A and B are shown apart, each in its own frame.
Chain A
């Protein structure tokens, strides 16, 4: 337990030693700020005048806040693999994994420690992104419950990215391959959602399997325990696979 926390804090600290973490935070914030600005602009000049006369018109949370989180989820699909590739594949390539391997730690300690470090980074990321929609609270009234659920959805989505990325990092010989394969896998799940929602031959199963469908229901402001369980199973599943993979390596 303490070893796990030691690994997690050290990994997180190391992440912020590298320019990678800072560039990711900076670039994501910059892109989302541009998108946010455009969305606010659109809301004020096109949506608001149209919605003025309607009953039950979509509010600022529904149109604006949710859109920011959706964009964040899409962009981070391409960015999270860059973080997860460091976790195991890069350590292997740099031959530093031996340090953890020959220390008296269980594989579970190592994997969970690394996952917790990623969770720490995700929390920072979601916190930073949430500042933008929250800033609207200065000028208008926000649906905080809805915003919170959307933020939780993003957090769960990114955690699932991290778990899947960690597993792919464990099976990849090289960091670049790990990043590419993780991106491919995450993108595949997105395509699965798009295919499932297809007008001609939709598939409920595809939509259910894809992590994006569950994310969207969070964005709608619905907290369904089935979605939460989906993410928990997804995360636990990939973490167990990672532990098994690394244990198998040790046992030959």
Chain B
């Protein structure tokens, strides 16, 4: 079953004067997916999200939200978007309930559905205790949750959250993660974060942005399965050339006493061959372990390399 494409942003570019903040960035998101946007500070995550929500025009590029062009018909396209910016956009002099009611009216929620939808949002974001309190008197965590509540209030098909868990306590973080996971089942969610474990927990896809361009893009599933390297270390001395002679080995890197082997095609074939040869030639294998690429290592590798290179 192919799911509907809800967000289709192609070749986005945004310049501020001579400064190109986002360059040639594309994002595709299907219904029911949660996309994690990762990147170091100043990578262009927030700018990208501002463009996706119609708050900032891209210098170049095209954005389709549920097949509606955001630049040509912003009013229709925005109907499908719920957005939590970096700072929750809340009026200090309104109460939580008034804020949500105002938002419901602005987003054209039908009069007879307003109350039910506000109640759902309040309950989902655990705001029952503060519904009559003024926003000005709420703590940062509560404000953040009201910000999330206004983003999901009108049941948009695309929910865009800029660092949704910032300022929350660990219990709330957990609850909000569960909420985002739930939302991801029937909506599409894009969230930016710099917490890697969060991405692992709730995202289906991850896109790493650095200096305004995509440096990595994959599904987390593929990331888990994509293991093509193995670390081997021996108790006796085995020369690099001996290992390079193995037919299943594509590449070898030496790291102190151990070797990192990259398989030509199949990792299992490489391991089989390695074991067999070891027995034949009397190599004493001390360790064989598949090298899983963690999100951390990918992130650090990509981002570090770039900033170190410049």
A residues with CB within 8 A of B? 2-3, 6-7, 10, 14, 17-18, 94-106, 249-252
B57 at the interface (CB under 8 A from A): yes
From B53, B74, B90, contact of A96 by CB (8 A): B90
Alpha-carbon separation in the docked complex, A2 to B114 (Å): 15
Contact B55–A252 (Cβ < 8 Å): no
Which residues of A lie under 8 Å from residue B59 when comparing CB positions?
252
Contact B57–A104 (Cβ < 8 Å): no
Contact B106–A103 (Cβ < 8 Å): yes
B103 at the interface (CB under 8 A from A): yes
Residues of B in contact (CB 8 Å), total: 33
Contact B93–A250 (Cβ < 8 Å): no
CB distance from A93 to the nearest CB of B (A): 11
Which residues of B lie under 8 Å from residue A100 when comparing CB positions?
106
CB distance from B234 to the nearest CB of A (A): 59
Contact A6–B94 (Cβ < 8 Å): no
CB distance from A74 to the nearest CB of B (A): 30
Which residues of B lie under 8 Å from residue A2 when comparing CB positions?
105
CB distance from A196 to the nearest CB of B (A): 41
B71 at the interface (CB under 8 A from A): yes
Are A104 and B89 CB-contacts (below 8 A) given A14-B94, A98-B83? no
From B54, B57, B93, contact of A18 by CB (8 A): B93
**0/1 interface trace, chain B 25-54, chain A, CB 8 Å (1 if under):** 000000000000000000000000000011
Alpha-carbon separation in the docked complex, A2 to B86 (Å): 29
CB distance from B107 to the nearest CB of A (A): 6
The dominant DSSP class at the B interface is loop
Q: List 6 A-B contacts (CB under 8 A).
A: A6-B105, A14-B94, A17-B94, A95-B89, A101-B55, A104-B76
CB distance from A69 to the nearest CB of B (A): 32
Alpha-carbon separation in the docked complex, A132 to B56 (Å): 49
B205 at the interface (CB under 8 A from A): no
B184 at the interface (CB under 8 A from A): no
Top 9 A-B residue pairs of the complex, sorted by shortest distance between their CB atoms: A252-B57, A99-B89, A104-B78, A17-B93, A103-B106, A98-B89, A102-B83, A95-B87, A104-B79
Which of B74, B85, B90, B92 is most buried by chain A, counting CB atoms within 10 A of its CB? B74
Contact B85–A98 (Cβ < 8 Å): yes
B216 at the interface (CB under 8 A from A): no
Contact B106–A7 (Cβ < 8 Å): yes
Are A97 and B89 CB-contacts (below 8 A) given A104-B108, A250-B57? yes
B150 at the interface (CB under 8 A from A): yes
Contact A103–B103 (Cβ < 8 Å): yes
Which residues of B lie under 8 Å from residue A97 when comparing CB positions?
89
B292 at the interface (CB under 8 A from A): no
Contact B93–A6 (Cβ < 8 Å): no
Which residues of B lie under 8 Å from residue A7 when comparing CB positions?
106
Q: A102-B55, A103-B103, A104-B107 are in contact. List 14 more A-B contacts (CB 8 A).
A: A17-B93, A95-B87, A96-B90, A99-B103, A100-B106, A102-B85, A103-B107, A104-B74, A104-B78, A105-B106, A106-B75, A250-B74, A252-B57, A252-B59
**0/1 interface trace, chain B 201-242, chain A, CB 8 Å (1 if under):** 000000000000000000000000000000000000000000
Residue of B nearest to A10 (CB): B102
Which residues of A lie under 8 Å from residue B81 when comparing CB positions?
102
Alpha-carbon separation in the docked complex, A249 to B89 (Å): 18
Contact B91–A101 (Cβ < 8 Å): no
Which residues in chain B, 73-121, are within 8 Å of chain A measured between CB atoms? 74-79, 81, 83, 85-87, 89-94, 102-103, 105-108
CB distance from B79 to the nearest CB of A (A): 4
Residue of B nearest to A16 (CB): B93
B164 at the interface (CB under 8 A from A): no
Contact A251–B75 (Cβ < 8 Å): no
Alpha-carbon separation in the docked complex, A97 to B58 (Å): 19
Are A3 and B55 CB-contacts (below 8 A) given A99-B150, A104-B76, A251-B71? no
Contact B102–A6 (Cβ < 8 Å): yes
Alpha-carbon separation in the docked complex, A100 to B75 (Å): 11
Which of A102, A105, A252 is most buried by chain B, counting CB atoms within 10 A of its CB? A102
Alpha-carbon separation in the docked complex, A3 to B85 (Å): 22
Which residues of B lie under 8 Å from residue A102 when comparing CB positions?
53-55, 78, 81, 83, 85
Residue of A nearest to B86 (CB): A95
CB distance from B80 to the nearest CB of A (A): 9
Alpha-carbon separation in the docked complex, A2 to B103 (Å): 13
From B56, B78, B85, contact of A252 by CB (8 A): B56
